[in-house]
Amino acid sequence: MTIESTNPATGTVVDTFEDDSGADRDERIERAAETFPEWRTTPIERRQQLLAAAGEVLRENSEEYATLMTEEMGKPIDQSRSEVEKCAWVCDYYAEHAAEFLADEPVAGEPDAETKVVYQPLGPILAIMPWNFPFWQVFRFAAPNLTAGNVGVLKHASNVPGCARAIEDVFREAGYPDGAFSSLLIDSDEIDAVLEDDRIAGVTLTGSDGAGRAVAETAGNELTKTVLELGGSDPFVVLDDAPMEKTVETAVQARLINNGQSCIAAKRFIVHTDVYDEFLDRFVDEMDAQVVGDPMDEKTDIGPQAREDLMDDLHEQVEETIDRGGDLELGGEPMDRDGAYYPPTVITDPLEDSPADQEEVFGPVATVFEVSDEERAIEKANDTRFGLGASVWTADLDRGERVARRFESGLAFVNELVKSDPRLPFGGVKDSGYGRELARAGIREFVNAKTIWVQHEAGEETEMVE
């Protein structure tokens, strides 16, 4: 069977690929399992060198990879270029810091024993990745985990098969051994068979909470370690002393980045009543000023939604929210043009049980809530089953940090949009998942933190070595 890659801006086929048969799937997993013993014993300095080389491959082919992303899922070309550069950055980061993060840690214990914690890789790790950041999501997983000594098996989203194969080529060109990183072009209904394979030592998924529950259930039956990053409905809290010009400018960017299709995009704008009218007027004007068009055009701010069916789902959420009492301030209808284009949309005062209030709205749709005071703003921000990111805007940074500490989220920002950074742990709480990616915490998710106890002769004290 063939897999078609379709350009959501035009509906034309970008490329076709043969999917992996059951035999192909098994062969790739077996190759990963056979590669692991040698790869895990490769000195970490060599693994870091190869990761740095992968970063160089990304930079050398940036325009090719950026164009591929834009053609397959529709993000504006400039954002695709930035995504390639961010992938190279995460390679640079772990190429510099991985050995430090995984170094043996002496631990004080008995005076006549040497005790330490060592960090050892687990084996083949399955990564189930989404289409919205088709390079970044994969490299966010691969850079730390391959450098820790694991091998990677990728099951990418079905609408970005070209990106999946291109990423496999990046590691090959960088000099990684065959089997260190491989991609499976398989249907989603085959994932359980991979999860149940005893050669798979761990699984990480970025996707919907429904997909996360299904994967966690199957992996749990196998006692396989999981990390889940499951999206969110991030609040963007505007307090009465917010610096309005910067707040509105960032609010638009935070909602519309990646055509509005980001798990950490600001989705619920919670605004203090004293500045509500000013914020709403300026926000609607700025949203309306964004250029919707061909994602290959440098002047475009918003491209198409990644698939026609995703746009249809988004529109259903908008229609139901409005039917149940929300006020439409801007947009609200698919655009009358070829491609899966949905305009910037603003809804005010949605009912508490409406889709735009309770569900993740994955597209350029913002909901705006008016609240009477800071306490009510915090309550509304936390009134969601999700808990990925949150931000607060205020002229008083102490006040901002106090509010940020009260958000029920894995990430909390003051006077900045929510974003991922290789230097900081990334992940959520509640229905946004568990586990962490990036930084020191991320590279230690899929390793065995093993205690080593070396007993010396009685009375022989040991010297702890840093």
Q: Which residues are catalytic?
A: 229, 263
Dihedral Cα 112, 117, 123, 126, nearest 10 deg = 160
Read off φ and ψ for residue 369, nearest 5 degrees: -120, 140
Q: Please name which of 302, 304, 406, 284 lies closest in space to residue 346, comparing C-alpha atoms.
A: 284
What is the residue type of 141?
A: F
Q: Pairing mode, if any, of strands 181-184 and 151-155?
A: parallel
Burial class of 177 by CB neighbour count within 10 A (0 to 12, 13 to 18, 19+): middle
Confirm if 95 and 55 have CB atoms less than 8 A apart.
Answer: yes
**Two structure tokens written together for 218:** 């199957």
Closest CA to 67 of 55, 58, 78: 78
Beta strands at 124-128 and 202-206: parallel, antiparallel or unpaired = parallel
**Which amino acid makes up residue 404?**
A
Structure token pair of residue 343: 């305009």
Dihedral of CA 108/109/112/116: which sign?
negative
Question: What is the SS3 assignment for 184?
Answer: strand
- What is the number of alpha carbons within 13 Å of residue 7 lying toward its C-beta? 17
Three-state DSSP at 152 gives: strand
Calculate the CA dihedral of residues 250, 256, 262, 267 and round it to 10 degrees: 70
What are the strands, taking DSSP E only, across 193-331?
Answer: 202-206, 225-229, 234-238, 266-272, 327-330
Cα(364)–Cα(332) distance, rounded to whole angstroms?
Answer: 10
Would you state the structure tokens that stand for residue 238, as one six-digit string? 């505007």
Work out the number of other CB atoms within 10 angstroms of the CB of residue 405.
8
d(CA 206, CA 229): 5
What are the tokens at 92?
Answer: 């640079």
Using alpha carbons only, give the angle 298, 299, 300 rounded to the nearest 5 degrees: 95
